[in-house]
Structures are given as structure tokens and as C-alpha cells.
Chains A and B, each alone.
Chain A
Amino acid sequence: MPLDSHAKKLLEMLNAAGAADLSRVSPEQMRNDFQRFATMVGVSGVAVDAEDRELPGQGGPIPIRVYTPKGSGGATLPALIYFHGGGGVFGSIASHDSFCRLLANAGACRVVSVGYRLAPEHKFPAAVGDAFAATCRIAEHAREFLIDPRRLALVGDSIGGGLATTVCRMARDAGSPAIALQLLLCPVVDLSRSSDTRIAFASGYFLSEATIDWTVKHYCAPGTDLADPRISPLLADDLSGLPPAQVHTAEFDPLRSEGAAYADRLQRAGVAVRHSCHAGMIHHFYAMGGVIPYARLAVAEIGAGIKSALG
């Protein structure tokens, strides 16, 4: 299928600036730019209750935002623990606020968005440590959050998808907490090499190879082994015994091949997997409902998947 016409128009806008010289872009500028971009392309005014809290973490308090669909305040609900994308360098609770609101409504569940520490101030594995600590804390205090601990999902987009599945593996190895679902949206699961789609869509498709290089340089200290399964979960020795997985990839996303390969590997390891490749779509499309109408359909599909898994 060709590129979706709205996605294509967005790419034309992004490409109208010509090739960017990312070496001049600071993490601070990228964070600000991405925040403004997220607001521009997201769906605004999604009515959901939201509360900011903090969890104890190794490196200080971890900020979280808890979303609850309107009218279900006092009920015990299934929940998603959400790890945002942004290469571990940018992205935040704020940049994914609109999308988390949409997920809470579409999945009829609470969503706990985790503000894990970012690089370069806090390099890998700080984000992994925060993601695991937040997950354990929320599971242990599920009752306090009015969350049903038997219906807890780990969810993430882009590098957050890599974090979500990494935390699933850590929880499996530790024997707890129990995770009912891993929901991975255009996940980063192999930073050790460039797949065929990373090469085919290296520039001009929103997430460029140059941006990936830039984020890796900030996310990892020099000399870090990018084949570490906490960075590249696709290379983990053993994927058996992981929670059921729902993997969403996008046809024109450089990360499509690694996401598809990861879904395959999970399946071969005996994990129940549902993989949807969204035709005509680009990286991060699901959070671009303000400019790509199909994103709204995708969110409905993602929500139906959450409901079927967490009932």
C-alpha cells in the first residue's frame, strides 16, 4: 500500500526544511521541539481524569501521571503502565499526555505514565532501572491505586516499547510482578544493527537514521554494548515465559522489521502474539490523530486489544 495521504503530507512538511544537521541540536532543544510537535499533531481536549504523583526510585522520586476514564474514579480497574518514546533522551509524560488519555478511554482502564530518567543526564541503564522500579512499586501498591494487579499491562512506544518488554523479562526472571500483557507500539528492539527497513527508510520517513544515531550517542555511554538485551531485546537469549504480546508496527517505519522479527521470535518462544502491521503508516502515527485521521481508528483497535486481553 502507498503512504497514507495524510502521513505523506506530514512528511512533506518535515522534509521541507531539508536535511537537518543534528550535531547542532542539543537534547534540550530536541525535548522542546518534540513537545511542541506532539501538541501540534496530537488529539487535543481528551476528557479523562489525571493525577500527578511520585514513586520512590533509585535516583530520586519518579514522577508518574495516573489517568482514569471519566466516571470510573472509585472502581478497581485494569491498568497500563506506560513508557513513552523519545530514544531515552526526549519525550515525557507531557509529550504523551494526549495519547495516554486516548488509551485510558479506548482501553477502559487506568494508565500510569512513567517519567523515567532521561539521557544524557542519566545514561543507560537508568531508564531501565526506573521502569522496573516503577512497575514493581505500582504492582505492590495496586490496591492503593485502585488497580487490579491480575490485569496489569506494560505498554510503550518506540524506545518505551523496548523498556516495556525488557521489564517483562526482568519480572519473569525475578518471579514477580505478574504482567498480563505487553503492548508494544513501533518498538525499538534492536539498536545493535540496521535492519532492511532502517536502510530503506533511512531518511524522509519521520524517524531518520541520523536521529537514531543521535539518540544512541546520548542514551548510551561510549563503549556500551548495544547488543545488551536491555537495549536490544530482540537479542535476548530466552524469550519464553513472557506475557502475551500485542505488537503494532507501521509499514513505512524504519523500525518495522525489528518489530516484526521480535513478534516472530516471541511466537517461536511459545508466547501468544498478535502482530498488526499498519499499512501506509509511519513511526509514531498512533499519536498523530490531529493530522492523520487513521490514527484514531488505530487507537480504537489498540483499545479493543487491551479490553480483550485485560477484560
Chain B
Amino acid sequence: MSVGIETSSNVTVTDVVRRIFDARAIARPVQPHDDLREAGLTSLDMVSLVLSVESEFDVKIPERDITPTNFRSVVTIETLIARLRR
């Protein structure tokens, strides 16, 4: 299950990912456990994703946490944000 982390403006990780899907014209719905690379996200999309997560959720993601594992899916990103906020 998605833990549904939100910003003060109620933006969720799913929203951030959907924005990138939209920019890339990826039509499929954003599912919490879907592998984002399999969904078609490229390396440039990953930059967009990391920068968007940092600005939307007001977290600084240390270099060591910018890994394929942490950015595999909506749920892994939510887990990362929750850990960084602790």
C-alpha cells in the first residue's frame, strides 16, 4: 500500500510521478508498486523526479540515497521521504 505522503499543498508522490508520465505522454495509470523504469522513465526523467521530490516535499536527498532501489516505485520513494523526514 502507498503510505500517501503529502506536502502542505496536498501533492503526493503519485502526483509528481503522474506529472512526469504526462510530460512523456505515458498513458498508463500510476500504480504504487509499479517499476518506474519499466513504465518507461529515462535517466533524464529521473533527474526530474529527484528534483521534483526535493522541491515538493522540501527534503534534501543525500547523494547516497539517490539509488535505483530508492527510486524504483512510488512506494519506495515514499519510504525514502518518510525516512529523511524523521
Residues of A near any B CB (own CB < 8 A): 5, 8-10, 12-18, 20, 25, 29, 32-34, 36-37, 40-41, 291
Contact = CB atoms under 8 A, between A and B. Distances in A.
B63 A8 contact: yes
A6 B60 CA distance: 12
Given A16-B68, A36-B23, A41 B37 contact: no
B30 interface: no
A9 B49 CA distance: 13
B46 interface: yes
B42 A20 contact: yes
A86 to B, nearest CB: 13
Interface in B48-76: 48-51, 63, 66-68, 70-71
**Band of interface residues on B:** 20 to 34
A36 to B, nearest CB: 6
B46 A40 contact: no
A41 B47 CA distance: 9
B46 A37 contact: no
B44 A33 contact: yes
Contacts of A14: 43-44, 46-47
A17 B45 contact: yes
B46 A13 contact: yes
Contact of A13 (B23, B24, B50): B50
